């Protein structure tokens, strides 16, 4: 390598280092995301501290979860099983995690009523998690001898193979109560229609917006979107979960107020015809990532 080429390489390296040092600390036009992150984090931490200190956190009544006792009691009186479907996704899906959490509450009610719980799953890890949740629920209810792991079983990873097997079981065993909590796709209507055909009380919950109309039409109660995720806090009453729920609501209120303030400021600027004021509003909007 010649002396000139060495000098050229050194010059390029110095230019690259200079360009790297000149990079801004924050990405321009992402001010809104940074501010939202700070607001949400502060609201959640504040909510958790408030709940831990004994502050009151009120959660709106959820009729679907309040109806669990009614559904399980009816199934017990009729001598028919209870079906719980935790969706068709694995434990890396947050809806599946929420579904297994609600399963623990349903299983405890089933244990107290000494009813028969059936939990078909489409993922092996979901089966193991569901067994753990149900076993813990039976222990908490003081009925460890009533827990039967064979009633929580794996069928198939294939979507419609799983749905066909579950629908066949519904037709044979005719459960009096059906719970659908998790992530669902095209199988939602198949399951709900089969449950409706056998006259079961049906309670569903999912955050898949495309499947919500089918559950609303075919089920007695449906937890819609965020209600589904708030269910664990509603059922457990734990301060950390209630505080997180409170913090999220406070963050939403702050964002709503910010949007309203920006809309009012923009309207005033347009009506007043003050160019400097309008330019200031436009500059603020651009700095927050809203464009020019």
Residue pLDDT, tens place only, 215-261: 999 999 999 988 888 887 888 778 888 898 899 888 888 888 887 88
- The reported pLDDT for the residue numbered 123 is 95
Segment 55-92, tens digit of pLDDT: 888 888 888 888 888 999 999 999 999 999 999 999 99
Record the tokens describing residue 184, joined without a space: 């669902």
Higher pLDDT among residues 195 and 63, named by residue: 195
Neighbour order of strands in the sheet with 177-181: 152-154, 117-121, 82-85, 177-181, 201-206, 221-224
Measure CA 258 to chain center.
25
Q: Report the predicted TM-score, pTM, of the whole model to 2 decimal places.
A: 0.78
Return phi, psi of residue 121, to 5°.
Answer: -125, 160
**Tally of CB atoms within 10 A around 31:** 16
Higher pLDDT among residues 6 and 200, named by residue: 200
The fraction of the chain above a pLDDT of 90, given in percent, is 55
Distance separating alpha carbons of residues 64 and 228, to the nearest angstrom: 10
Residue 120 has pLDDT above 60, yes or no: yes
Residue 279 has pLDDT above 80, yes or no: no
Residue 163 has pLDDT above 90, yes or no: yes
- Tell me the mean pLDDT in the region 168-193: 95
Record the tokens describing residue 97, joined without a space: 């995690």
Distance separating alpha carbons of residues 41 and 35, to the nearest angstrom: 10
**Tally of CB atoms within 10 A around 6:** 10
Distance separating alpha carbons of residues 44 and 54, to the nearest angstrom: 16
Distance separating alpha carbons of residues 121 and 118, to the nearest angstrom: 10
């Amino acid at each position: 390598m010649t002396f000139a080429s060495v000098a050229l390489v050194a010059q390029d390296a110095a230019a690259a280092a200079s360009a790297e040092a000149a990079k801004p600390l924050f990405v321009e036009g992402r001010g809104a995301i940074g501010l939202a992150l700070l607001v949400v984090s502060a609201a959640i931490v504040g909510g958790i501290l408030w709940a831990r200190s004994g502050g009151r956190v009120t959660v709106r009544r959820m009729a679907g979860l309040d109806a669990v006792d009614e559904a399980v009691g009816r199934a017990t009186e009729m001598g028919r099983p209870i079906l719980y479907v935790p969706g068709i996704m694995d434990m890396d899906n947050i809806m599946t995690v929420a579904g297994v959490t609600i399963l623990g509450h349903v299983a405890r009610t089933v244990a107290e009523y000494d009813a028969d719980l059936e939990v078909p799953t489409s993922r092996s890890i979901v089966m193991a998690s569901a067994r753990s949740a149900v076993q813990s629920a039976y222990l908490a209810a003081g009925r460890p001898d009533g827990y039967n792991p064979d009633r929580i079983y794996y069928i198939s990873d294939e979507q419609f193979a799983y749905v066909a097997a579950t629908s066949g079981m519904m037709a044979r065993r005719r459960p009096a109560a059906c719970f659908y909590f998790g992530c669902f796709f095209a199988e939602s209507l198949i399951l709900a229609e089969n449950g409706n055909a056998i006259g079961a009380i049906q309670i569903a919950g999912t955050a898949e917006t495309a499947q919500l109309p089918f559950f609303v039409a075919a089920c007695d109660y449906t937890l819609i979107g965020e209600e589904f995720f708030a269910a664990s806090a509603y059922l457990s009453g734990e301060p950390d979960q209630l505080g997180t729920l409170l913090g999220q609501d406070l963050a939403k209120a702050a964002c709503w107020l910010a949007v309203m303030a920006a809309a009012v400021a923009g309207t005033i600027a347009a009506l007043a015809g003050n160019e400097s004021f309008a330019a200031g509003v436009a500059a603020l909007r651009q700095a927050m990532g809203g464009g020019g």
